[in-house]
Amino acid sequence: MIYLDKISTEAPKDLSKKKIKEKTEKMAEEIAELQITLLAEQKHSLLVVLQGMDASGKNSSAKAAFEQCSPEGVDSYSFKAPTEEELQHDFLWRIHKQVPRKGYIQLFNRSHYEDILIQRVHKWITEEQVHQRMQAINAFETLLQHDNQTTILKFYLHLSQEEQQKELQERIDDPSKNWKHNANDWEEAKHWDEYRKAYEYAINESVIPWHIIPADNAWYRNYLVTKTILETLQGLDMVRPTLKDRKK
């Protein structure tokens, strides 16, 4: 059983920020090379799910890992409130349309888990529906892995409440960050404890495990996300096809 309040949100004190950032940049270069191999081989796909409280750094984490990749083969999608058409279907209908085909990487900045997070916190669905949807999510992710060779990486960016307040305030105080400000983020922050409980449920009930990433220090958060993605791509043991392979 995972309890998020037992896991640190900070980087180890003995790490060098400068060295870690240099390692992250080097790993991003390696990811870019492997991404081309993934695209060329057309045997696997990668789905990266980024979840976390507001201001936990979902966009920045994705940028650090994939900023050197070719724009062909890497895409990102952020799930907002469902449209009227989407509400007329099952909750996974809009998700399935966005999963990556073979050779591609898809990033979910917020994902199908929103349907058992925000909807649960605001009591827009019942507890019975939460459990039913969790079962459906597990079946959906298992299908993707086994039927389409889609590797799924799920990251929970583990931010402290104090750091979230600091980040949200910076969006007001720093003119260069004003564009990020959303008054609703402050309202959602009032439900901190309920969101923490909802996340713990999703993490503990998942068949495919989550990577819990300390997020108070952006440089360490980016390093861990990038490292995990790199090691996952390396583990696919991919080979770029030659002309001889293409003639077969």
Tokens describing residue 99: 């999963």
Do the domain assignments include residue 143?
A: yes
Do the domain assignments include residue 245?
A: no
The total of structural domains in the chain comes to 1
Work out the number of other CB atoms within 10 angstroms of the CB of residue 56: 26
Percent of the chain, pLDDT > 70?
A: 98
123 has a pLDDT exceeding 60 = yes
**CA dist., res. 206 & res. 138, Å (int):** 6
Do the domain assignments include residue 213?
A: yes
Mapped onto helix, strand or coil, the DSSP state of residue 76 is strand
Query: Secondary structure of 20-70 in the HEC alphabet?
Result: HHHHHHHHHHHHHHHHHHHHHHCCCEEEEEEEECCCCCHHHHHHHHHCCCC
Tokens describing residue 32: 């870019």
**CA dist., res. 24 & res. 223, Å (int):** 5
Do the domain assignments include residue 4?
A: no
**CA dist., res. 138 & res. 133, Å (int):** 9
Give the global pTM.
0.94
Mapped onto helix, strand or coil, the DSSP state of residue 226 is helix
CATH of residue 55's domain is: 3.40.50.300
11 confidence band (pLDDT: 50, 70, 90)? very high
Residue 141 is part of which domain span?
Answer: 9-236
Residue 5: the pLDDT is 94
Mapped onto helix, strand or coil, the DSSP state of residue 172 is helix
Residues 6+ apart with CB under 8 A from 143: none
The pLDDT tens digits for 188-231 are 889 999 999 999 999 999 999 999 999 999 999 999 999 999 99
158-171 mean pLDDT: 92
The pLDDT tens digits for 50-72 are 999 999 999 999 999 999 998 88
Mapped onto helix, strand or coil, the DSSP state of residue 77 is strand
**CA dist., res. 100 & res. 169, Å (int):** 36
Contact 157, 167 (CB under 8 A): no
Do the domain assignments include residue 2?
A: no
Helix (H) or strand (E) holding 137: helix 127-148
Do the domain assignments include residue 22?
A: yes
Do the domain assignments include residue 72?
A: yes
Do the domain assignments include residue 244?
A: no
154-164 mean pLDDT: 96
